[in-house]
Structure 1
């Protein structure tokens, strides 16, 4: 009899191709650029990018120049950028510079699009900047495994009272995707966010020489990740191993902002508290809080926070692209879900089927016509052999194993 591990190994060898494992989706709702579609088909490294940073995270024209620069950085590492957004009700994966210009224009009135917002944005044919959670959903749908952003959402300060918890955390627990970011936006409750990520089964790893978890604008938050890696290859192995064992939760690779752009944590906390107070006084709530606070922080730091934001997303793109390249190399050596070595078992499997007796009774019309009560009549019997039926249908565990039934 096959062990659980052996059965899983055989099953994963013959499961559907990656493209068919993804969610089935309407071609009308999703549109991949030729570049992204070709890269996925040829199994070349692809890095997804969210678009809320363009529509709601930065002022114009910084949002436009940063978006184009980030794509150039990814291409320089021999990976393909896949910027995700909703354009006129269609989910786009991979945008041209012209489309980015349209999305970055404040006149586009793009909707901040999380998972919950897709039905409304699509049905009304609107433009949408996808959040981390929205982009994770799209990545899972089209088969992109690595996604770069500035910082993820999390548990808001006083979230234990308001229950204001970003959908980003839930989506990270739903999809086996690596998110490369500078940790959690520092306007949030980082400690509680890390606790929530643990609950969701998300593997949190700092990229660098220590476990210090970054605080977006600052190199360190005062919190620690469970683990750390120092090279792109090590990070790629995390994702590859996760795929090998079939985990359906994600990985957060937390990349500290480069030292020369880091802002002192105490200084940032003071500024953030002022921005949060302003949001409360003006009645800002829900998904409008983060854009408002980020803009207020930029004003209070006289643009320094914006400079740091741009630097960290570029750095994340650089590292994320390197990880994607290494991950692709690992997949070529040993595709996810297929163990590198499966020991051959010479024992022959046994197909056991139930012994079924089929009966057919034939009623004699002549007896009925003469008024006799019919309690029984001619009967024909034959055996039904489930084991042989299985064998006849060629149900085999793998290519070189014979089946044998015992009657």
Structure 2
């Protein structure tokens, strides 16, 4: 039965009907990740990276209350112009945005939900959310982690956002049975940097082997997704000591201003971009393009 709230772009629907590879893409990066028109330019470049590697892109959002799987260039431009007036949308927000016929930019969690509704199994993003620093008292844990535990979508990312507590996030994922795969690395990438002090569960060096593992997981009816951690390209990576001091300063400023919840990540990312003279934004764009290319290769192998 078709979901009455869901609109699937004709190109995406045709690919799914014919068993061809499709890669889901989130929309928070368009509305909340960077300014217009750079956000639209980046979104279109990410879609092109998916196509160049053999798959069909499906950028996901909620527009005027409709769940959209696959956006036209006009819709991507509209969302980019809306900017932060589009509601940052996680699982809990979806029914209210639909009921109010509002615009919503999907996070990792909500993108996974809509991708799963459409039958898309591979999703590319920048970095996933996780356990925030100080969560032992604040209990601030991203809904992304619970979605990874429940929903059959693999997320290709540059690791866990380095503004978070990487160790606690890995512990949470282990408890929930979510595998963390390092693509060509035994060390967990940390978004802006290529490595951290933490290891991954499995190192896999080929998209074909990743696809085979995903297929085995889901054919055995094991619920949940997987994290495929793909390091930021070396020429765009920031140094660990540089980014750590910037993040510590940004977190102190955020705490002093009393910023919490869903506002914390956009604040921290903006501060990091400011303090690194825009180098973090360049790294962000490079790693998203890199992840889109890998996700397409995995989706192709999964369909094969």
**TM-score interval w.r.t. the shorter chain?**
over 0.9
1:222 aligns with 2:197: yes
> Counterpart of 1:305?
280
Separation in 2, partners of 1:100, 1:230? 33
Distance 1:297 1:107, change over 3 A: closer
Partner of 2:130: 154
Distance (Å, rounded) in 2 between the aligned partners of 1:113 and 1:182: 21
1:84-163 superposed matches below 5 A: 84-106=60-82, 109-163=85-139
Q: Name the structure 1 match of 2:148.
A: 172
**Structure 2 unaligned spans of 5+:** none
1:38 paired with 2:9, answer no
Q: 1:71 to 1:107 in 2, by over 3 A?
A: closer
In the alignment, which residue of structure 2 is the partner of 1:213?
A: 188
Give the TM-score of the pair, scaled to structure 2: 0.98
Could you tell me the TM-score, scaled by structure 1's length? 0.73
1:42–1:308 distance in 2 versus 1, CA, 3 Å: same
Taking a change above 3 Å as real, the CA distance of residues 195 and 107 of structure 1, as seen in their structure-2 partners, is: closer
Deviation at 1:265, TM superposition (A): 1.1
d(CA) in 2 for partners of 1:71 and 1:207? 21
Aligned counterparts of 2:257 and 2:210: Cα–Cα separation in 1: 42
When the two chains are superposed, the root-mean-square deviation of aligned CA atoms in Å is: 1.1
Look up the match of 1:77.
Answer: 53
Paired residues, number: 304
- Determine if contact 2:31/2:83 at 8 Å carries over to the other structure: no
CA distance in 2 between partners of 1:142 and 1:73 (Å): 21
C-alpha distance in structure 1 between counterparts of 2:96 and 2:230, whole Å: 34
The CA distance in 1 between the partners of 2:14 and 2:73, in whole Å, is 18
CA change 1:217–1:108 in 2 (3 A) is closer
Of 20, 26, 34 in structure 1, the residue corresponding to residue 3 of structure 2 is 26
Greater length-normalized contact order (CA 8 Å, ≥ 6 residues apart): 2
Q: Which has the larger radius of gyration?
A: 1
Distance in 2 between residues matched to 1:132 and 1:217, nearest whole Å: 18
SS in 1 for 2:32: helix
The alpha-carbon deviation at position 307 of structure 1 amounts to 0.2
Rounded to whole Å, the distance in 2 between the matches of 1:212 and 1:108 is 34
CA shift, 1:26, in A, is 3.2
The alignment status of 1:275 with 2:253, answered yes or no, reads no
